[in-house]
Structure 1
Amino acid sequence: MQTLIAATPFGRRSMTLGQFSRLNEAADLPGGLTVDKWTVFRSVRIAKEAIGATDRALAILNALLSFYPDAELSSKNRPIVWPSNKSLTTRANGMPPSTLRRHLSVLVQCGLIVRRDSPNGKRFARKSASGDVEQVYGFDLSPLVARADELHAMAEDVESEKRAFKVSRERLTLLRRDIVKMIDLGVQERAPANWSEVSKHYQDIIGRLPRTPSKTVVDAVCKELEELWTEVHELLETFVNTQNPDGNESHNERHIQDSSPDPHIEIEHGSENKRREIDPAMTNGNLLNLPERQLPLGIVLDACPALIDLMPAGAVRSWKDFLATAQTARSMLDISPSAWRDAVDVMGDVQAAITVSAILQRSHLIVSAGGYLRTLTEKARLGQFSTWPMIMALLRAKHDPNKGDGRPAAASTSDNPAGESDIELSRELMRQLTRSRHEPR
């Protein structure tokens, strides 16, 4: 095929230095260079973002390659195709002409094709009397031949980055899972550490993750999580090493007592002996000395089903949903914003929301929900209030109606609607708590 190279674009389109460089590369191709057209197209598709090509530009390039009859592009016979706009639109899945022209320009700017424009801008092939093609005006695919190795290397780099990013994300997931479960283990086993501070540190690190993080961000977060993982692991390892056989035996005995077949295990508020058996820290009325025990969301919802009715979808699937629904409950109970802010400042947002959900559950017994919340806030400030016994009392009233119908005496209506002063744990409740504490999550 004899070709007279048309180097400049038709009409008002100007030539750029990049186009001029691609023209020189196409003109200097060695004679025996051949590439598979679909192999090079696959490389372009993988590295499209690095190249700067769009999805529609790739659809047009795919259509242009389909017009070339051979499976291989060769530098010996310059690969030029000359489809009409109508034919090109048909093979590009009916792309509008204006969109077609715009994305053809993208292919030229990316250096994937070169325009070989005729004097009047039309695309055609001139043949000799014998039928051989003498002159062609259209789209030159030679840059794909010239850049085949470059495009292949770019595609490999992109795939390598994707694999590395996948490994980083897997590492992030494993670190998050390990840290969350180790913190939960430390809280459940009451290992000596400030677990609420550790959990807050973890949430601060995770909070820096955007919705679609880059590999750099993921790697930076993983580095911080690895340091936290080491810290939490050392805390638990130290705790395990300090446990003696007598302590383990006593721990096992407590598990056996928790699984006792007795119908009810009663904890009387006025019995100092019982309170000492539970925890010596209770004897001085200071709940701040107790290790923090986080209530599982399922148990809170089981104790406070009234909160679920406020959720638009009728389901609370996460603590985020729970906090949002508690805000709705606060408004319904006419709890002032200042009372809510004080509760959040003293208890934290989750514990304050649990308190409001418990108040909502007993709202028919409480004259002033806002005043009661302020009372509990002051008790919490003094270390004399915890949501754990409140939720346990609600569960006791739900699962054992014979022991409590949820309507205490009038004297305790405004001071202790959740039954904090008289807590009874039924066998069914103990089974639920034992499962939630010891089953793997």
Structure 2
Amino acid sequence: MERDGLVALIDVIAPLIGVGAAAMATFRTMIAMTRPSAFKGAGEPPCCYLSQIEIARKRAVAPSRIRRHEAELVSAGLIRKCTMANGARSGHSGCGIFFDVVIARVQEFRELKERLEADRKAHGRLRGMRSSHKRHLKSALLELVETCGEADEVQAIFEAFAQWPSAQALHRMSLDDLAAHEAEANDLCGAALDLLHDLLKSSARPLENERSHIQDTTQDFNTVLCNDEGEAQNLPPATPVERRDATPHGAACCIENKDRAQSSAHKSKLMQQIGGARLYHLCSEDMQVWVNIALQKRSGLDFHSFVIAAQKRLPELGIHPSAWREAVESLGEQNATFCVLITDAKVADPEIPILSPGGYLRGMVRAARTGSLNIIGSLIGLTERNRCRA
């Protein structure tokens, strides 16, 4: 490994091995005094011969701080300290700060970096799902207030919602704590959507999403999709992406004053057109597993179940969280969800070689920007392929 590459690696994993920023600055100062070629060969190990006073002068700190930093670096296994009896260091006597110990641990640190990056991605995915839960819950609460006012059930959901940490606070949560909160947020959102479904059903108002159990149907999918030529040719309008994440306060009825554009975030016009059961049958078997898991705690299919299932599939497909964020920002959550569903279904098709699902998803986003993305056409294509294999 090149010397600069080694330093960059240690910079990433330093907090995990108990090395603070000040000690890392001293580490970088010392290792910069070594020969870069010493990191490539099998000869003498790289060594810094500067005294603590010289290092302190370069760092513009007191020598006592350098002593503490060296002790911290030795304890973390990043340097090996070898000095004369009086503490002096000299290339002639082979005494100084050696870096062979850190070179020997490169593979260990690489694996640690990989785990750290995996945790960061998982953290980002959980924050993204919490964001979806929040959008859908706020939207459902708006409709619940319009339907039944400040009923006890609605007030209880709102009070639980008001206790959620802010988006900024999520960044400070551990991965385990965030996972627990995301699961609770998912349950609360599901409870609100189920309550809304039951209320609309009892009042005989039309349901926004198909909530039936998964079942086969004889209705022609192509007819459903193509009965409006304009809708079949154009990309459905993107849902606005929530930019603010302030925790609401006050009574449940206060949310009626929120942005009305959020009042349909838990719905999908395209899903209403297709139907939840049909959309389920277009999913890959792997995505159906995640939808089934959601259904274990729910009364039926809805848009929220597909949004969360799509985000659950991202790491399994190797799609970076940034690709999902880009899709949501450019297309809205509805169209981003259908793009992941289509990408996932095509990856599962052995006749369609897709080497990079993330690249394919980003390609769909670029196509949408040029006006050439046809989500409905892609869904029809999936239907025809499924029909041919039946």
Q: TM-score, normalised by structure 1?
A: 0.44
Higher RCO (CA < 8 A, seq sep 6+): 2
Structure 1 or 2, whichever has the larger Rg, is: 1
Q: From the two aligned structures, give the one with the greater helix fraction.
A: 2
Q: TM-score, normalised by structure 2?
A: 0.50
